[in-house]
Chain A
């Protein structure tokens, strides 16, 4: 009897073990991700300033937020940045992948060179580009000493153009990764269809336009999702490259949230802006993850 009970306990333990093993991670995620999201969203409806406080104020933080010119600037910048960053990375990534796919010599080396920026910290990237684009010592100065006396390139110090330097540095960092995604897609396309079309006398241009690029749809989708979530999360690069300046010319929602929460003691407004960032990313990521996980079954 005792033996049977013991064996019974052992099998029950065995059947419980998988869930026991999973539970610490699950608990961490539930508390530190979903619990925290709930807490932050709650704070966005309170009168929190320097510290969390629990006086309910309804939508007040949100209506204040949308009246702030600082927030509107961040959103406008985000629009410019995201549109350019995503489209330039995609076009460049696709173009380079197609060129690299033409049985090129030293392909491995070229790929390695295109992709290494992805291994760097945005702080390193920001530092390198900050001084390279600096009119005093960087590109402008160099070209002037080389004899092009009228050359001017002060974008990083210019309110109207600084945001484009953020695009430049971000594209430099991630376009190689997008290239790798498209290259993987290109390598998966059946050659038989291409050969058949070639027999029918299709030009290379038409092969790409009509057959190859349409088949890269999954790669386009992945690139879009990854790039848009990276765009919304962009923070370190701006901090290192421009510090959000000149003025507020390169402020993004992520830097806005940080300064309102931690240096301006407007935690309620900071939490409201973080909530909007989360909602935007969720609108892109959740359908994508849902489709990815469903197909796998």
Chain B
């Protein structure tokens, strides 16, 4: 976390400290519990789960549920497993993250270094767009995607995620560039550098950290989205979350809990991985979206 600045001056006695550790550990167990349940039960044969051993370690270890969830579990009408949906998500996430981050960087640059009358209001309009309940745009968006010939396509989903992601990416870059010394920009201008030259040569080279924040935030949000995927995706563009839900809710046949758990971990893996590798940036993005920079 990037906010750790100072330790508290509060002093605590031994009994209090023991209690504090106890409570902290208890809650750590609470947060780990669902992950433990998912992981342990995804490598068990089904009868071990239905026999009441959900909390136990597997007696028989098997990777069969993972194989099934990935490549041949029944999802919708076809026994395709989650694999094609995983790639659908990738195909949607990569361009959406890239486009929204580039637009956010440019917007942040304009809104801080090329200010004009009314720019704060325009930014406020963009920012409010992030918080609306998306139910309010579902009906017209479905019509619009139809009119544009993008209904049910990955391109349509990319467009949707770019539109509703711009507010946050702009917020990140705006807050970041706001503290960047404007004198440097003015000096470059006097030397004859143009709009894009200044962005390219002066701001962009130092934008690494905030770009990472923006990319991680967008990646997590878009990968985890369900509402847009469920509303606008076609048969061959459904993202992972929608497929996982179809797998778990399907009412035909025996409920294969172990396959469901394996599938859930597969759907969670990319964002979990990002969190473990770059958690610091993830938290920074989270905080910037709520508390002042």
What total count of A-B pairs have CB within 8 Å? 307
Partner of B9 from the list A130, A194, A293 (CB cut-off 8 Å) is A194
Give B240-255 interface residues, CB cut-off 8 Å to A.
Answer: 241, 244-245, 248-249
Given contacts A25-B126, A104-B20, contact A233 B163 (CB under 8 A): no
Q: Which of A64-72, A79-87, A105-113, A151-159 contacts B (4 or more CB under 8 A)?
A: A105-113
Residue-wise, chain A 134-171 has the 8 Å CB interface mask toward B (1 for contact) of 00111101101100000000000000000000000000
**Considering the chains assembled together, what is the distance between the CA atoms of A114 and B286 in angstroms?**
14
B60 shortest CB reach to chain A, Å: 17
- Evaluate contact between A123 and B267: CB separation under 8 angstroms: yes
**Considering the chains assembled together, what is the distance between the CA atoms of A229 and B32 in angstroms?**
26
**Considering the chains assembled together, what is the distance between the CA atoms of A258 and B227 in angstroms?**
9
Chain A residues within an 8 Å CB radius of B72: none
**Considering the chains assembled together, what is the distance between the CA atoms of A194 and B147 in angstroms?**
63
Chain B residues within an 8 Å CB radius of A177: 286
Chain B residues within an 8 Å CB radius of A32: 137, 141, 144, 163-164
A265 touches B (CB below 8 Å): no
A14 shortest CB reach to chain B, Å: 6
State the majority secondary structure of interface residues on B: helix
Chain A interface residue count, CB cutoff 8 Å, equals 117
Nearest CB in chain A to that of B2: its residue: A184
Partner of B125 from the list A34, A121, A186 (CB cut-off 8 Å) is A34
- Evaluate contact between B227 and A293: CB separation under 8 angstroms: no
- Evaluate contact between B53 and A186: CB separation under 8 angstroms: no
Partner of A240 from the list B7, B30, B248 (CB cut-off 8 Å) is B248
- Evaluate contact between A254 and B1: CB separation under 8 angstroms: no
B202 touches A (CB below 8 Å): no
New A-B pairs, 18, CB < 8 Å, besides A18-B114, A36-B137: A21-B109, A117-B34, A119-B274, A121-B226, A123-B241, A123-B264, A124-B264, A124-B268, A132-B33, A176-B31, A184-B287, A194-B8, A194-B9, A222-B290, A232-B133, A274-B136, A278-B133, A296-B178
The 9 closest A-B pairs by CB, nearest first: A18-B114, A121-B224, A145-B52, A119-B275, A128-B34, A236-B226, A184-B3, A274-B135, A36-B140
A-binding residues in B (CB < 8 A): 1, 3-12, 17, 20-21, 23-24, 27-28, 30-35, 37-38, 41, 49-50, 52-55, 103, 106-107, 109-111, 114, 116, 120, 122-129, 131-141, 143-144, 162-164, 166-167, 170, 178, 194-196, 220, 223-227, 230-231, 241, 244-245, 248-249, 257, 260-261, 263-265, 267-268, 271-272, 274-276, 279, 282-283, 286-287, 289-292
B-binding residues in A (CB < 8 A): 14, 17-19, 21-22, 24-26, 28-30, 32-37, 39-41, 43, 52, 96, 99-104, 110-125, 127-132, 136-139, 141-142, 144-145, 172, 176-177, 180-181, 183-184, 186-189, 191, 194-195, 198, 204, 207-208, 218-219, 222-223, 225-226, 229, 232-233, 235-236, 239-240, 243, 253-254, 257-258, 261-262, 267, 270-271, 273-275, 277-278, 281-282, 285-286, 289-290, 292-293, 295-297
